[in-house]
Structure 1
Amino acid sequence: MSSATEYEDKTVTRGELKYQGKAKQVYFTDNPTILWVHYMDQATALNGKVHENIPEKGQLNSAISHILFEHLTRQGIENHYLSSVSETDELDLALDILPIEVVTRNYASGHFVSKFNATPMQKLTPVVQEFYYKSDELDDPFMNDSQILALGFATLSELTKLRAYAQEVNQALTEIFDEININLVDFKLEYGRDSEGKLILADELSPDNMRLVDQKTGKSLDKDVFRKHAGDVTVGYRDVLSRLENLEK
């Protein structure tokens, strides 16, 4: 893994580790507005309580995220992705990340099914949006608007924008996955504020933070395979990447 790369005709050098998440390492760079992100070959479940090293997973997630962020950029949806550094590394805009996960559900799956006794893969109309507090220690509890406002995690105006922005992302991602015969079941987004306080999409866009189901077979192509011990999780990830790459040709 190189410790320096070219970006906009300037050399960006990787610095000290800022933090390590469940599947990524984030480094400072010599440019305070840019972060260096490394995708690890690690899968986790139960908010990090279960983890396993899985070769090739970092490369697959990085490649899928690259394609999807580039797609959103072409759709006029601003995000933190700047450029690829290697097969597992990228440069991202440094943001002040909100402690909120924005979840969008197009179909009933996962906890939504168990909480509400919903029919699995029931199409949800209207599309469901939920907020969760980003805390592994507390198992990412659900949050309503008043809780978010009372704790100062976001303003009322920002909550309105988060909902609207997530709808835009949902439309753009649903369309591209539909083109490759995949249903976007649900997904999690994170946002951060830039130096001017503007909300910008962050984190990653991969089968790690979304549920993807083949439209013909109903087969899971995401991290649910790992959660349910249903086989080699990279098989689905490679399938998703292959379809996205073929779409771009």
Structure 2
Amino acid sequence: MAAPKEVGGYKLGKLIIEGKTKQVFDLPEQPGHCLLLNKDRITAGDGVKAHDLEGKAAISNQTNAKVFEILKAAGINTAFVKIASPTAFVSKKCDMIPIEWVTRRLATGSFLKRNPGVPEGFRFTPPKQETFFKDDANHDPQWSEEQIVSANFKINGLTIGQDEVDYMRRATILVFEILEKAWALRDCALIDMKIEFGVDPEGNILLADVIDSDSWRLWPSGDKRLMVDKQVYRNLTTVTAADLDTVKRNFAWVKDQLDHLKPTVHHKVVVFMGSPADQEHCQKIAKAARELGLDVDLRVTSAHKATEETLRIMQQYEDTHGALVFIAVAGRSNGLGPVLSGNTSYPVINCPPPSDKMVQDIWSSLSVPSGLGCATVIYPDSAALMAAQIIGLQDYLVWARLRVKQLHMAAALRQADKKLRNQV
């Protein structure tokens, strides 16, 4: 494939690397970035089987972009930036870690060959994670975590040790679970998938390379006979033009289905404050909630002084939202949370504002009449997190942002511990 000089208005620099299905070019006018150009090429068996497939580059490019947009919306750190042309996209420049990270929900394919006695369809709970060293000459041998750590890879100044392996393992499983939940919206079972990571010049580990229909097994309705992924091509002993058309239609179908993987639930978190004086506290709740992707409204009303108005506002939200959480901010004989809880079937969270009588205010929120189910938290971010956990039961992107937050907190602790260990 001849090297072009310009793609999508981007002037290309040197060819950094060329693989079986893509080329990677430097972007001299975009420091720190590169361009990945897909090929109209499909391969299998380390390139032993290969065919031209007109239109595949554009389908793969769109599929990859849609997948990465989902993952970026969830908060995953990725190298993907944006589509540059119908067949190319811009990425942050990073050096690749030569490991394929594979996650499996069901036992099939090569796993069965390597693990005789395990029946096809055996379900892994939690998902099983495997690693393979990228080495075409030796057919990408499976590696243990100990082998990866012992290899002492130095990528863009970062040594890949146990801390980095632990992060990538957790991130790999999380990426799979996010996309698994997304595909479930279209009654498609994500069976397994592979991803790769790179390290940017600042030493950050990023989800990189490409995720398209070459990257996973996808079975509509969980039925292997309906597979729409690259395995259809792998299974062909002879390849006709009609076979290639079938593969292309499958890939195009997957690309189109990705447009329907956004959460369909219409959610709202409503923060009721008993007094305008509580607005600062409520704004902190709203800020933390919005950072988790929640849609938040702030309202001022008093259950004691304007009971009918409070219930009217509550009922308006009940009539227009499928997933709904009320947060009651009131102290001094909190009636707001209990009144809401006694008149709605949606969850209510008490989060009293700070005051010099905090102990009494908390007790007021905790000691509610029988038959009421208010929860009570003290801190604004705790109220936001609890609301997100409730909404996340129906919205996989909110669920994913919570999981990513946990991943990043754990990684930050590991990095702080690593820095301290290195000082000793």
Give the TM-score range, shorter chain: over 0.9
Unaligned runs of 5+ in 2: 154-159, 238-242, 265-424
The question of 1:29 aligning with 2:27 is answered yes
Q: Determine helix, strand or coil for the equivalent of 1:137.
A: helix
1:100 equivalent in structure 2 = 99
Structure 1 stretches of 4+ with a deviation exceeding 3 A read: 246-249
CA distance, structure 2, for counterparts of residue 103 and residue 176 of structure 1: 18
Among 228, 238, 254, the residue aligned to 1:240: 254
- Tell me which moved more, 165-174 or 222-231: 222-231
2:404 equivalent in structure 1 = none
Superposition TM-score, scaled by structure 2 size: 0.55
1:9 equivalent in structure 2 = none
Q: How far off its partner does 1:43 sit?
A: 0.7
Structure with the bigger percentage of helix: 2
CA distance, structure 2, for counterparts of residue 146 and residue 129 of structure 1: 14
Q: Determine helix, strand or coil for the equivalent of 1:120.
A: coil
CA distance, structure 2, for counterparts of residue 151 and residue 114 of structure 1: 26
Q: Determine helix, strand or coil for the equivalent of 1:15.
A: coil
Letter of the 1:245 counterpart: D
CA distance, structure 1, for counterparts of residue 187 and residue 45 of structure 2: 29
Superposition TM-score, scaled by structure 1 size: 0.92
Structure with the bigger percentage of strand: 1
The question of 1:140 aligning with 2:147 is answered no
User: Which structure has more RCO (C-alpha within 8 Å, separation ≥ 6)?
Assistant: 1
Q: How far off its partner does 1:168 sit?
A: 1.7
- Are the aligned partners of 2:101 and 2:131 in contact in 1 as well (CA < 8 Å)? yes
Letter of the 1:242 counterpart: D
Please give the per-residue CA displacement for 1:82-137, whole angstroms capped at 9, x wherever unaligned.
Answer: 11011111000111110111110111111012222332232212311011101111
Unaligned runs of 5+ in 1: 7-11
Among 223, 229, 233, the residue aligned to 1:226: 233
Letter of the 1:125 counterpart: T
Change in 2 beyond 3 A, CA 1:161/1:42: same
Identity of aligned residues (%): 27
The question of 1:204 aligning with 2:210 is answered yes
Please give the per-residue CA displacement for 1:197-220, whole angstroms capped at 9, x wherever unaligned.
Answer: 111000111110111111165311
Pairing 1:28-67 to 2, within 5 Å after superposition: 28-30=26-28, 31-67=30-66
CA distance, structure 1, for counterparts of residue 252 and residue 72 of structure 2: 23
Among 177, 181, 191, the residue aligned to 1:175: 181
The question of 1:185 aligning with 2:191 is answered yes
Letter of the 2:131 counterpart: F
1:3 equivalent in structure 2 = 6
Q: How far off its partner does 1:247 sit?
A: 4.2
Letter of the 2:101 counterpart: V
Change in 2 beyond 3 A, CA 1:41/1:98: same
